[in-house]
Copies of this chain bind each other. A is one copy, B any other.
Amino acid sequence: MLTFYDNDMTRPEASPSSRQRLILQLERLIADLQPGDRLPPVRELTQRYASSPVTVSAALRELARSGALVVRPGAGTFVARTLAVTAAAPFPGTRPGSDVTWQTLALHSRPALPAAVQNLFRPPLADTVPFADGYLDETLQPLGLMNAALGRVARRPGVWSRLPPEGLEALRAWFAHSAGPGFTASDVVIVPGGQAAISTVFRSLLPRGAPVLVESPTYFGVLAAARVAGLHLVPVPTDQHGVRPDLLEQAFRSSGARAVYLQPLYANPAGTVLAQERRATVLNSAERAGAFVIEDDYARDLHFVGPPPPTLVSQGEGRVIYLRSLTKVTAAGLRIAALIAHGPVLQRLKEARAVEDFFPAALQQEVALDVVTSRGWGAHLSRLQETLRDRQGAALRALAEFCPQIRAEHVPQGGFVLWLRLPEGSGADEFAAQALRAGVQISAGSSSFPAEPSGEYLRLSYAACSPSRVSEGVRRLGLILPA
Contacts and interface: CB of A to CB of B under 8 A. Distances in A.
A156 B4 CA distance: 9
Interface string A322-357: 000000001111110000001111111011101111
Contacts of A8: 373
Interface stretch (A95-103, A412-420, A429-437): A95-103
A291 B108 CA distance: 12
Contacts of A362: 2, 333
Interface stretch (A32-40, A168-176, A395-403, A467-475): A168-176
B192 A361 contact: yes
Interface stretch (A46-54, A202-210, A440-448): A202-210
Contact of A173 (B12, B108, B347, B354): B12
Q: Which interface residue of A7, A164, A205, A317 has the most chain B CB atoms within 10 A?
A: A7
A290 B369 CA distance: 48
A15 interface: yes
B110 A332 contact: no
A328 to B, nearest CB: 12
Contact of A350 (B121, B342, B364): B121
Interface string A101-145: 011111110100100010011111000000001010010010100
Given A5-B170, A344-B107, A135 B162 contact: yes
A345 B103 CA distance: 7
Contacts of A159: 2, 333
B104 A11 contact: no
Interface stretch (A67-75, A193-201, A302-310): A193-201
A354 B116 CA distance: 11
A366 interface: yes
A120 B1 contact: no
A154 interface: yes
A150 interface: yes
Interface stretch (A222-230, A271-279, A453-461): A222-230
A107 B332 contact: no
Interface of A: 1-2, 4-9, 11-12, 15-16, 20, 91-95, 98-100, 102-108, 110, 113, 117, 120-124, 133, 135, 138, 141, 143, 146-147, 150-152, 154, 156-166, 168-170, 173-174, 184-187, 192-193, 195-196, 199, 203, 205, 207-208, 221, 224-225, 228, 230, 258-259, 287, 290-292, 317-318, 330-335, 342-348, 350-352, 354-364, 366, 369-370, 373-374
Given A117-B351, A192-B361, A208-B230, 10 more contacts: A5-B170, A7-B369, A7-B373, A7-B374, A99-B318, A100-B343, A107-B345, A138-B161, A192-B357, A193-B358
27 contacts: A15-B169, A20-B164, A93-B343, A98-B342, A103-B345, A107-B205, A107-B348, A113-B351, A121-B165, A121-B166, A143-B160, A150-B363, A159-B333, A160-B330, A162-B333, A193-B357, A193-B358, A195-B356, A195-B357, A196-B358, A207-B208, A221-B355, A228-B351, A335-B360, A335-B361, A361-B361, A364-B364
